[in-house]
Amino acid sequence: MPLSVPAFLSGWLTTELAPQLLAATAADAAQRVARRGIRTPGDAAGLALAGLSVAGLAAVIAESRSARHEAETALTEALGADYRSVAGHDGPVAPVRIPWRQFATPFRMRRDDVVRVRDLAYAPGGRRFRLDVYHRRDTPANAPILLQIHGGGWVFGSKNDQGIPLMMEMASRGWVCVAINYPLSPKAVWPAHLIAVKRAVAWLRDNAANYGGDPSFVAVTGGSAGGHLAAMLALTADDPDLQPGFEDADTSIQACVPHYGVYDFTGETGIKATRLRVESGLMPMVLGKAARFPQDYEAASPLCHLRADAPPFFVVHGTSDSFIPVAEAREFVRRLREVSENPVAYAELRGAQHAFDIFPSLRSSAVVQAAADFLDWTRARQQADRMDSEVVEEVEETENVG
């Protein structure tokens, strides 16, 4: 745990900005050689080190490019080889391409065809109960909805900083995307975070139509603590104990895409890094100093809320995550698959760090495309199921009349 922060900081930007770093290293080396040549042993050593750096960054880039295959394999195994045609996408999977302008300015994330409506209140309580709506400029009608929940260890974070690449992609595809703030610890104690998220879902079902949204389809995504809240939201639909004052609201979720989420709050998986987190000072900060172990910890743990009617899941986690061990995601997926009646896709990304998807990169762009395809598939399946149900009802009505 003490080394997780420096390990993250040293690996995150290097892996996701590897193309930019390679270009800068090569340009710097070429400039130095052109300016003064190789006159001294020091010049030769510097050039050799630059060459090693370029080789290392090239290996990182190759590893990042494997994310498309890893994600595609995960979807094919869980949804079937024909999932793209079901989702309405004809032809083979296209290679991931990022415009050169995006490479040059990776932190500038905008699309001309996407509009952002800021700071709408979904519940009383100030700025922590506000959301932003992203929708295509032409505002398509009956658009499926994607809810984005930010991470930050339940103690910091903002709707302005996370999930933007995926929301931009989905909004461009005609979805309505919503990023929310929620109350943070230590001021807020569990389950205040989840109750706020559920209030946002209730607000969406009442108001999203104003922005073209279809209240019958709400998917959820989020990373880290946001991944935890996304999973809990999907696994606790309509639980009255978590909806005080709005018990009758529909808080069901039709699809869940958690990224590098927290799934074990009790340490029951036996994973060392997970147990250290459970025993750290973070848990009393989130759950409250009066929290009882294991009862109150189990109440916040997705592993303790697995259910047969869970919506389709697409779980994404990196093998090099410094904060949340990849083994935790594996165990969550294994147990959820044992009980869920719906598909559970799992993409394990070789070399990916925590928060790999904050800005567009080779890896994050591949995962965005895969997540978008998964969400389109769940929407298409819902529509097909609805049509089948309507046909059955018509047949039954005809037989009753006869």
Please write the tens of the pLDDT for every residue from 55-72.
998 998 899 989 999 999
**Domains parsed from the chain with CATH numbers:** 102-358 (3.40.50.1820)
Inter-axis angle of helices 4-16 and 362-401, nearest 10: 90
How long a stretch of residues is the chain?
Answer: 402
The tens-digit pLDDT sequence of the chain (402 residues) is 555 666 676 677 789 988 888 888 888 888 888 887 787 887 788 888 888 988 998 998 899 989 999 999 999 999 999 999 988 887 777 666 666 667 677 778 888 999 999 999 999 999 999 999 999 999 989 999 999 999 999 999 999 999 999 999 999 999 999 999 999 999 999 999 999 999 999 999 999 999 999 999 999 999 999 999 999 999 999 999 999 999 999 999 999 999 999 999 999 999 999 999 999 999 999 999 999 999 999 999 999 999 999 999 999 999 999 999 999 999 999 999 999 999 999 999 999 999 999 999 999 999 999 999 999 999 999 999 888 766 656 655 666 665
Rg of the Cα trace of the chain? 23
Look at residue 340 in the predicted model and tell me its pLDDT.
98
Given the residues 135, 193, 259, 354, the one annotated as active site? 354
Inter-axis angle of helices 362-401 and 164-172, nearest 10: 50
Spacing of C-alpha 23 from chain mean position: 29
Cα–Cα distance measured from residue 11 to residue 61, given in angstroms and rounded to the nearest whole number? 13
Cα–Cα distance measured from residue 74 to residue 87, given in angstroms and rounded to the nearest whole number? 16
Given the residues 132, 264, 321, 357, the one annotated as active site? 321
Given the residues 64, 172, 185, 224, the one annotated as active site? 224
Is 69 designated active site? Answer: no
139 exposure class (CB count in 10 Å sphere: 0-12, 13-18, 19+): middle
Other Cβ atoms less than 10 A from the Cβ of 116: the count is 17
**Tokens linked to 46:** 């510097």
Is 321 designated active site? Answer: yes
Look at residue 398 in the predicted model and tell me its pLDDT.
67
| 3-class state of residue 336 by DSSP | helix
Other Cβ atoms less than 10 A from the Cβ of 44: the count is 11
Is 365 designated active site? Answer: no
| 3-class state of residue 310 by DSSP | coil
Look at residue 98 in the predicted model and tell me its pLDDT.
67
| 121 secondary structure, DSSP code | E
Helix ranges, 251-350 (H): 272-278, 282-287, 295-299, 326-339
Look at residue 87 in the predicted model and tell me its pLDDT.
86
Look at residue 45 in the predicted model and tell me its pLDDT.
84
